[in-house]
A = this chain, B = another copy of it.
C-alpha cells in the first residue's frame, strides 16, 4: 500500500486526498502539520524522499517517491475518467494545473496561509496583503471567465483541473477573497462537492454559500 505524507490543512495535500478518495485508492497517511511535526520534512530521511522537503509526497512499496501535488494527480489520474480523452481538452486541463501552481497558488493560497497560520503573522503587512488580494482576485476572475461559460474547467465533466483548483479556491474566503459575487465559481464549487465520492477538507472553515 502506498504511503501519503500530507498536511491536513493544506490545499495542495487535500487535492491529492480528494483524488485518491474518488478513485478508492487506499493509503497509509502520515500527517505532517505546519507546526509541530513539520520538522519531519527537514530530516535527512525525508529529504531523500523529496529533496524539496515538502508535502504532499507519495512513497510506493518499493521505496520510490513522487512529489508535487499536481504530478501526483497526473500519476493517479492518468487513464481514468478524470483525464479528458480529447487531446486539446487534455492539454487545457494541464493549462489550468500549471496556472494553479504559478499564479493561483502564489496569490490565493499564500494570502489564506498568511491568515490561517499564526506563524505567518510577520507576512501580514498592509502592502503585501493588498498586493496578494489584487493578484488573487485576478486569478479568480480568470477562473470565473471560464466557469460562467461552462460547468467545469476543461471539458464537460470533472477533471484533474477541477480537483486541483478546488483545493485552494473553495476555502479562499479564509484569505479574505470575494467568492460569493463570482457566481460561476460558486456554482462550480457546489458542483464539485456534490460529486459522488467527494471528501471535505475538515481542518479549515468550509464555504458558507
Mark A residues whose CB is within 8 Å of B: 51-52, 60, 64, 66-72, 74-75, 78, 87-88, 90-92, 94-95, 97-99, 101-103, 105-106, 141-142, 145-146
Q: Output the nearest chain B residue to A145 by Cβ-Cβ distance.
A: B51
Q: Determine whether the beta carbon of A75 is less than 8 Å from that of B88.
A: yes
Listed residue (A60, A97, A141) with the most chain B CB atoms within 10 angstroms of its CB: A97
Ranked 3 nearest A-B pairs via Cβ: A71-B95, A75-B91, A71-B94
User: Beyond A52-B142, A142-B52, is A91–B66 a contact (Cβ under 8 Å)?
Assistant: yes
User: Beyond A66-B92, A94-B70, A95-B68, is A87–B102 a contact (Cβ under 8 Å)?
Assistant: no
What DSSP secondary structure best describes chain A's contact surface? Answer: helix
Q: Determine whether the beta carbon of B95 is less than 8 Å from that of A87.
A: no
User: Beyond A51-B142, A52-B103, is A95–B78 a contact (Cβ under 8 Å)?
Assistant: no
Residues from chain B with a CB closer than 8 A to the CB of A101 are 98, 101-102
Q: Determine whether the beta carbon of B88 is less than 8 Å from that of A66.
A: yes
Q: Output the nearest chain B residue to A146 by Cβ-Cβ distance.
A: B51
Listed residue (A51, A52, A66, A68) with the most chain B CB atoms within 10 angstroms of its CB: A68
Alpha-carbon distance between A74 and B64 when the two chains are bound, in angstroms:
24
Q: Determine whether the beta carbon of B64 is less than 8 Å from that of A91.
A: no
Q: Output the nearest chain B residue to A52 by Cβ-Cβ distance.
A: B142
Residues from chain B with a CB closer than 8 A to the CB of A92 are 66, 71
Q: Determine whether the beta carbon of A87 is less than 8 Å from that of B68.
A: no
Q: Output the nearest chain B residue to A12 by Cβ-Cβ distance.
A: B102
Q: Determine whether the beta carbon of A102 is less than 8 Å from that of B99.
A: no
Alpha-carbon distance between A70 and B94 when the two chains are bound, in angstroms:
8
Shortest beta-carbon distance, A26 to chain B, in Å? Answer: 19
Alpha-carbon distance between A51 and B104 when the two chains are bound, in angstroms:
14
Q: Output the nearest chain B residue to A69 by Cβ-Cβ distance.
A: B98
